[in-house]
Amino acid sequence: MKFETVRGLHIPKVGFGTWSIGGQSSPDPKLDSVSRTALRSALELGYTHFDTAEYYADGHAEELLGQEIREMGIRREDLFLTTKVSPEHLHPDDVLRACDRSLRRLGVDFVDLYLIHWPNPRIKLGESFRALNRLVREGKVRHLGVSNFKLKMLKESVALSETPLLTNQIPYSLPEKTYVENGVIAYCQQNDILVTAYSPVKFRNLNVNATLKSIAAAHGATSYQVALAWLIAQPRVITIPMSFDPAHQKENLEAMNLELSASELGQLSNLYSR
């Protein structure tokens, strides 16, 4: 397994996202069985970084993840758990309450990483960080980060966080270069802030693109693996793909073993240039 080492932490280059576990914006009990099976197979395959949020299935994704960790007897110290506070809960007291609810649902005393899920222009960022910094001091949160933050607010967050900001979680993939173009990714790489790429293989022509297929065939890999390998070849970039299918989960993990040449990386970087 490959890791990104930052600020003394060793975080897997490929983690497991939990959007759609247990439902989407609200719980869907019909998905409980398939969701728990997906979480169980991910844990059995060796995933150790799990990314969730209070918004995912209105907290039910956190509940299911916590249940599966407990039932499988996974040691807390063997996992890196990330969750997120929703933008409507960014007033200081709401942040504190939201974190306590997430901890209860996950069944843990602390999370390794706590993110602001989306910025909220109606709430001053300084107010939110007053509570977030308190959570770190109290030991309920080990590290702080943000998600979907553009450069101005990212820099403001860096200044407001009493501990080094660990990540900005953003949409990033071969065709999705918004945060390359707006300077966020370069800023993160220059300032020891992880880029956590979500939706890394969610684009329409992934399986039919000729360049992707050719590079994949040369390595005995899949186009999905090539797309992931391109991401994690970059410094300070990790990713959190999600799949209900154990075979795809395994393929995603094995993408870490795929070594692309400089020429292949260049081809891929230019593949969707505008």
User: Does any domain span residue 104?
Assistant: yes
Q: CA-CA distance, 216 to 241, in Å (whole number)?
A: 18
For residue 168, give the 3-state DSSP assignment.
strand
pLDDT in the model for residue 156: 98
Q: Which has the closest alpha carbon to 15: 149, 113, 103?
A: 113
- Confirm whether 274 is domain-assigned: no
Specify if 205 maps to a domain. yes
pLDDT of 245 > 90? The answer is: yes
Provide the sign of the torsion angle of the four alpha carbons 138, 60, 170, 201, taken in this order. positive
* Residue 173 lies inside a defined structural domain of this protein: yes
Judge whether 174 lies within some domain: yes
- pTM for this entry: 0.97
Average pLDDT over residues 123-140: 98
Q: What is the CATH number of the domain that holds 55?
A: 3.20.20.100
Contact 207, 214 (CB under 8 A): no
- Confidence label for 153 from pLDDT (cuts 50, 70 and 90): very high
What confidence score (pLDDT) does residue 129 get? 98
Q: What is the tens place of the pLDDT at every residue in 70-101? A: 999 999 999 999 999 999 999 999 999 999 99
Active site residues: 56
How many domains is the chain partitioned into structurally?
1
- Per-residue confidence (pLDDT) for residue 96, from 0 to 100: 98
Q: Which amino acid is at 215?
A: I
pLDDT at 157 (0 to 100): 98
Residue 155 falls within a domain, yes or no? yes
Whether 49 has a pLDDT exceeding 70, the answer reads: yes
* pLDDT of amino acid 274: 64
Whether residue 30 has pLDDT greater than 70 = yes
Task: Give the mean pLDDT of 232-244.
Answer: 97
Average pLDDT over residues 205-219: 93
Q: Is residue 201 part of a domain?
A: yes
**Which pLDDT band holds residue 273 (cuts at 50, 70, 90)?**
confident
Flag whether pLDDT at 52 surpasses 80. Answer: yes
Q: What pairing do the DSSP bridges indicate for beta strands 3-6 and 9-12?
A: antiparallel
Q: Which residues pair with residue 186 across a beta bridge?
A: none
At 207, the pLDDT band (50, 70, 90 cuts) reads confident
Q: Please indicate, yes or no, if residue 227 is contained in any of the structural domains.
A: yes
196: its two tokens = 């956590």
- The parent domain of residue 221 ranges over 3-269
pLDDT at 173: 96
Q: Does residue 197 register a pLDDT over 70?
A: yes
